Amino acid sequence: MSELIAVLRSRTTREAGVVTRLWLLFITRAKIVASYRVQFALDVLGIVLSTLQYYFLAFLVSPAELARLGYGTSYFVFAVIGIACSRYVWMLTGAVVNWVWHDIMAQTLAAVVATRTDVKLYFLSHALWAATWASLWFVGVIAVALPLGFTAKLSLAGVASLVLVLVLLVVVHAAIGILFGAIAVKHKQVDVLSFLLAALIDMLGGVIYPLSVLRKYEPLYYVALCLPFTHALECARAIVIRGATLASPELLPHVVALLASLVLVPLAFRAVDHYVRLALRDGDLFAY
Amino acid sequence: MLSTRSSKASEMRAIMVRDLVKVYRSKKRVVQALRGVTFDVGRGEFFALLGPNGAGKTTTTKILATLLLPDGGRAEILGHDVVEEADEVRRLIGWMEGETGGRSLYWRLSGRDNLRLFASLYGIHPRDAEVRIRALLRFFDLEDAADRLVKDYSLGMRIKLCLARALIHDPEVLLLDEPTLGLDVQSAQKVRELLMILAREEGKTIFFTSHNMFEVERLADRVAVINRGRIVFVGTPEELRRRMERVKVVRVTLVSQEPSEVLARIASLSVVRELAGVTRRGDITVVRVIVDDPYEAISELARALRGMRVERIERELPSLEEAFLRLVFGGPPGPEFAPHARREPPPGWEPCPS
């Protein structure tokens, strides 16, 4: 016992910084996800299966029609970029809300709030892990697609442009995920919100068919343009299929729309403060 | 002069709670959990908050732990307001909720990883954290299980890990909700010893809730009893017990005797004010009576029961548990206030685990 007392009494040399805390929260989430081995294996299997699904579907789509719309001649390449990007939305919104909800049930969120660490860091760590896992998914899908005939017209500037677009996609959807997660702290089962967003993106965001198809249904087309995802995907496809870069004039409206969506970032962190305070007021950190 | 004295008083206070009010509102009902709770806890004091389930113990603890905002009144930890200076308060406190059986841990992480994570969240550098983690795991006999997932821990192991987490940043004030609930006798004893040393030798302030009167009696310098959101008593365990002594109880133990015959003789005595309870275990019958003058009653009872096999007639001193139950549930100390004399607990009361 005296040893324990002496150790506890000893002064610490220096404090754990924000990066250390963020890293440990990130690793915690990674270890938890990896501990669900079957789920982990199914996720990896999902990479192969969904890529194969669009490989076979591509035989049904007329290359000429796709080329006429400006998306190259391979539906497989078109769809692979769509599903790889949409995974970011599923992870950054759906998974983050799910983890927050789980931590409320397990009361680990209350334990985190009781520490000296700003709870925003906790939300940020979730978004970081979701982005990492979605990026691995992205790379995995491309890796599976390459031997099946996936080709890209990528210059060095194109690679840099693609990375920047993906970063913008991640940041904007991380903000949406954090916003939904914050709402979940107070209003609990808001996974329906993330499900609706993902469904909306799958339907209108141009994941499996070109955005121009929606021009026939104007209101839906304008709804699609309100989704930041639509703009990110249009940029990604233009870069990979047509060899465009962020400097290309055709991408300017999409880039502007994506940059404008960054307004969601401060909004998300303000929402965290707001909803955590409401939860502290009503005792919702312990209720589910 | 006055302000100096008042600032000295606040320096001596580790916890100050004034007129704390908390109301839980839902669509269906409004529950007034705290109705003006007031108490102080001195530095280095071992302070127990007692009360039946739903009395407001956990709500009070959560407010002090900055996990719940009060609707009225205020609370301070070492001079820092729990609402306005929550970050500073979090640096000073270690919070543990034992009631939920260690649910607030990450069950799919190992015990060591849980401590690593929370050490960093408390701002402890990883290098220092490793030393503390090793010492805590050793103390709580968790070394062998340190790298196993918490989901495979027993209830006792999880509670020990929760306690280790609460201690890892060496907090000045420990807020412990049922700290030994679910621990085996040996572990509970070890935890009590540690808490005693932390309070007595290290000057830590320990605020804890418990249903275990044995524990409270052994550890607490002072107790507060809360019932339906109000503090109904603050004082030492001895003072709480003394309150009960105003009601004088005499206990008669008989061997191989028909209770009905015994009761008939006792009831006829003028010195007996009220029958408090009768229990029979094997051939032993115990009768408890409330009297005005215990010494007169003992000699009268001895006379009235002559010829019967009387083993003992004695004045019964109330236990802390009886005093607590009387305070909370009110009324004369009938069978419901004498848990030894009755198998069924009173309504709303859950038996303590050890």
Structural domain boundaries enclosing A175: 38-282
Helix axes A191-204, A156-187, angle to 10 degrees: 150
- Residue B165 contacts A, CB cutoff 8 Å: yes
Predicted local distance difference test score (pLDDT) of residue B264: 86
| Helix H or strand E encompassing B32 | strand B30-42
Q: Compute and round to an integer the Cα radius of gyration of chain B.
A: 24
Q: Cα–Cα–Cα angle for B74, B77, B81, nearest 5°?
A: 45
Residue at token pair 């068919």:
A209
| Helix H or strand E encompassing A261 | helix A252-261
Enumerate residues 69 to 128 of chain A having a beta carbon within 8 A of any beta carbon in chain B.
106-108, 110-117
**pLDDT band (50, 70, 90) for residue A151:** confident
Domain locations along chain B: 2-241, 248-317
Enumerate residues 168 to 227 of chain B having a beta carbon within 8 A of any beta carbon in chain A.
168, 170, 193-194, 197-198, 201-202
Q: What is the ipTM of this complex?
A: 0.86
Percent of chain A whose predicted confidence (pLDDT) is above 90: 52
| Helix H or strand E encompassing B264 | helix B259-267
Q: Give the distance from residue B122's alpha carbon to the nearest chain A alpha carbon, in angstroms.
A: 5
Q: How far apart are CA B61 and CA B70, in angstroms?
A: 11
Closest CB to A108: pick one of B69, B105, B125: B105
**In A36-118, which residue ranges form alpha helices assigned H by DSSP?**
37-57, 63-68, 75-89, 96-105, 108-113
Residue A17 lies in a domain: no
Question: What are the contacts of B265-268 at 24+ separation with CB within 8 A?
Answer: B265/B304, B265/B305, B265/B308, B266/B301, B266/B304, B266/B305, B268/B304
User: Which residues in chain B show pLDDT less than 50?
Assistant: 1-9, 331-354
Predicted local distance difference test score (pLDDT) of residue B246: 66
Residue A4 lies in a domain: no
Q: Cα–Cα–Cα angle for B319, B321, B324, nearest 5°?
A: 115
Residue A33 lies in a domain: no
Q: How far apart are CA A34 and CA A31, in angstroms?
A: 5
- Residue B113 contacts A, CB cutoff 8 Å: yes
Closest CB to A4: pick one of B59, B103, B139: B139
State the SS3 of A97-135: HHHHHHHHHCCHHHHHHCCCCCHHHHHHHHHHHHHHHHH
pLDDT tens-digit map of A152-194:
888 899 999 999 999 999 999 999 999 999 999 988 778 888 8
pLDDT tens-digit map of A233-260:
999 999 999 889 999 999 999 999 999 9
Enumerate residues 82 to 101 of chain B having a beta carbon within 8 A of any beta carbon in chain A.
87, 90-91, 93, 95, 97, 100
Residue of chain A whose alpha carbon sits nearest to that of B137: A4
Percent of chain A whose predicted confidence (pLDDT) is above 70: 99
B2-241: CATH architecture: 3-Layer(aba) Sandwich (3.40)
Is the domain B248-317 a CATH 3.30.70.260 member? yes
Least Cα distance to B230 among B17, B13, B53, B36 occurs for B36
Closest CB to A15: pick one of B25, B87, B123: B123
Identify from A19, A103, A108 which residue to disrupt to test chain B contact, counting B C-beta atoms within 10 A and taking the largest count: A108
**pLDDT band (50, 70, 90) for residue A225:** very high
Question: What is the number of domains present in chain A?
Answer: 1
Give me the total of CB pairs closer than 8 Å, taking one residue from chain A and one from chain B.
129
Predicted local distance difference test score (pLDDT) of residue B108: 93
Amino acid making up residue A176: I
Predicted local distance difference test score (pLDDT) of residue B77: 96
- Contact, B40 vs B14, CB < 8 A? no
Residue A187 lies in a domain: yes
Q: How far apart are CA B27 and CA B38, in angstroms?
A: 29
- Residue A7 contacts B, CB cutoff 8 Å: yes
Q: How far apart are CA A49 and CA A59, in angstroms?
A: 16
- Contact, A154 vs A243, CB < 8 A? yes
- Residue B310 contacts A, CB cutoff 8 Å: no
Residue A237 lies in a domain: yes
